[in-house]
Amino acid sequence: MAQDTTSANNDQNDAEAILVLGQRLEESTPETLEKYGSRLEIVEGEAIDKAGYVDTSSALRNLVPGLYIGQKSGAFDYVQASLTGARTSEVLFLVDGVRINNRLYASTTPLDTIPAGMIERIEVLKGGQSLYYGTQAVGGIVNVVTKSFTRETDGRLEVGYDTNDGYHGNGYIRGGIGDHYFVGFGSYDEAKGFQPFRDEDTQPSALDRKRGYKVASIGGKYAFEPSDNFRLSTSYQHIEGRLDFAKAEDIYRNWNKRNEDIASLKIDWSPSEQFDVYVKGYWHDWDSTYLDLRPEVVGGALTGNIITINDGEQWGFDDKGINVLGEFHANDQFTLVGGYDFQTYSGFDDVFLIAPSSESVHAPFAQVKFDSGDLSLAAGVRHNMPSDGQEATVWNVSGRYGGDDGFYGRGQVGTSFRLPTAYELYVIDPCCERGNPDLVGEESFNVEGGFGYTNDTLNAELMGFYRKVDNLIGITYDLPAYPDGFIINTPDKVTMWGGEAVVTAQINKNFSGTLDWTHTEATAAGDDLQLVNIPRDLVKAIFNAQTDDGRFGGTASVNYVGDIFANVAAVGRVNYGNYAVVDVAAYAFIDRDQRHRIGLRLENLLDADYNTQMTRVRDDVTNASYAAGFRGTPRTLHVTYAVSL
């Protein structure tokens, strides 16, 4: 069963219960994949909201067992991610099933512009998922599900403040009239932020010493469902943001201003009891203008002049496609699945000089599923045909066995892939490496599985994973024609293996908790050094409490990160891990009808001084290089007030 690690006792609050429309074929895919052997974690949006999170990455960092999230400089910033030993480039992020990963750079993530107020739930599937989800779903997928359709009308308005001079507001309304259903939501988040580097790491030329943000989003969804056999739905989200870029040197103003649009049109149709069809068209457009103003430094002293490096240069990408999925239920035990993905994306960057280019990918896939009750098995294959690069075929076999006694075993074995990014294919910046349109996608062989026990009050699992990556994309400096580097498929093989132990318990009707420990060994062939930005150990503890009537409650989380390394240019290898961060939150409904709620959250309760990522800084006077850490968010108080409509 899917594990909700954050809201095991939230269903006791009848005042907030509301009937949502049933899940359709694509919406139920994560639960189906869990039934056939994958591990699924679910975080409910109500729990995220009650805990006072304003951005998605903060909620993921604290509330999802086994998922490492390293926020660069607090909320609404780029993150490092790792799941079942995978690198950031090997974790796929989606919104309502639409991929939102940056198609320009595999190392950057889309979480910096996803507010938390829109979330119905977050689904995290662990292990290779390329059969259904395609490129980058190597270590797993993170699917953010926005507010669901409901038959009744409900809504909420919420405002908040935090001690990093942050102001927050969000709201939604949803309901239905006859066969028509709608959802509308919006949010605004703004903060001056905190100082992202320590005083001793900050040069005098860093005149802007706080990292702030402004993010506004608005979205809507519509569904027409005349019967249980048909639904047409559409969704649209628009996000605007101005996100500061933190530096410890040479900064007067430095930010991205971005516009982002995500749209989809879906048809779910069951023409008979034996056949289900799903069609989805999607579009994701991401555009940004870049500002980089620096103080002039001569002989180690500031002159008072401001130098314009970039002012209005643009970069962005466009990603759109069509997915078709069909299921034929041959009998009570056998189901045949067939699908087709078409994706086309284009990208450009006037800053790093990525030439405007585009790529298309065609990918048919098929799967056969067997279900006898206690035993579920599935096997499938997918063939990927990109317009640039070579074709690749991946496969997956998975299964789960469990009886009425609560014990079960599950697992999957197969291959996954990551297609090259626009940067890796097309970059033409004369100062740096040159892209290679002949790159082959990275391929990996994956094994993941576990043994566990589940009942109404306890779920425990011990799992393991193994992955070997071939055709690793890297840089060579050995070609005379490209002395500054040429991007190639290196002969290096990378291996990730490890294990995870997780226990979720409903202690009684008032208390629940989750404890998780993940250990990962990730090395390149012939080298025993841990790969960068993948923690060797990750421990999470999550506790929930709630009164019988649901009027009062709270959460506490402990997030421990063990050894984690970075390679800093001109400095070398740096360990920036071995820290623990504690967050606590509480809420109270101040009226008997439970419409008005006040929430408090103390982020980084013990004010731990820790690094989230590392960077190279040059001394203003000597130009000597040293390693500096991006500081994690210091102790911060968040206060919220919400009213249900």
Cα angle 558, 70, 452 (rounded to 5 degrees) comes to 55
Residues of the chain with pLDDT under 70: 1-25, 107-108, 113, 389, 430-431
So what's the pLDDT on residue 111? 74
pLDDT, one tens digit per residue, over 419-444 is 888 788 888 776 677 888 888 888 99
So what's the pLDDT on residue 644? 95
Q: How far apart are CA 240 and CA 256, in angstroms?
A: 10
Encoding tokens for residue 132? 């259904």
Please give the backbone phi and psi of residue 446, each rounded to the nearest 5 degrees, phi first. -125, 140
201, 193, 243: which is closest to 611 by C-alpha? Answer: 201
Specify burial of residue 373 (Cβ count, 10 A radius: 0-12, 13-18, 19+).
Answer: exposed
So what's the pLDDT on residue 10? 44
Options 3.30.565.10, 2.40.170.20, 1.10.760.10, 2.60.40.2310; which CATH number does 3-644 get? 2.40.170.20
So what's the pLDDT on residue 368? 98
Q: How far apart are CA 589 and CA 599, in angstroms?
A: 9
Q: How far apart are CA 427 and CA 352, in angstroms?
A: 7
So what's the pLDDT on residue 16? 44
Encoding tokens for residue 617? 């800084």
The residues that bridge with 544 in the sheet, in sequence order, are 512, 555
Q: What is the pTM of this model?
A: 0.93
Q: Is 466 left (phi over 0), alpha (psi -120 to 50) or beta?
A: beta
So what's the pLDDT on residue 386? 85
